[in-house]
Amino acid sequence: MHGLSRSTPPNTRDRNYYRGFPGRAGFDKGYAMSHALGGREGGPNYFLQAPRVNRRLSPTGALWRDIESYLAANPGLLCFVRLAYPRGTSTDVSAEVEYGVRAEGQFRTVIFPNS
């Protein structure tokens, strides 16, 4: 997923669609681009994400959420999320998630383990 961050009004998430999207025990239904920063509703934007990364349950999760909050508060920033899957497997759970942001003339990326 890639695009420009944008402001999204609160309470506009389609909760029924989100609830109906398939999940898996031990994982959250994560957004590649969170709804709060302008990410679209729908299957291609959802992925199985480790709760400790998706929520503020660890320093890794705190950083993930800080990036999302920064993008939501600063519309117009280029950002991307890349899901990296282990080679030679047919799993639908990514091993890593790379988050990239272009801000203040610099491009920065962080690779998060998805476990």
DSSP 47-102: EEE-HHHHSSSSHHHHHHHHHHHHHHHSTT-EEEEEEEPPTT---SS-SEEEEEEE
* Interval 93-106: pLDDT, tens: 999 999 999 998 99
pTM: 0.84
**2 DSSP 8-state letter:** E
Give the pLDDT confidence score for residue 8 in this predicted structure: 77
Enumerate the domain spans of the chain.
2-113
Q: What is the pLDDT along the chain (115 residues), one digit of tens a residue?
A: 888 988 877 776 667 766 766 678 899 988 888 867 777 766 677 899 999 999 999 999 999 999 999 998 999 999 999 999 999 988 989 999 999 999 989 999 999 999 8
pLDDT at residue 77, as a whole number: 94
| pLDDT (0 to 100) of residue 42 | 63
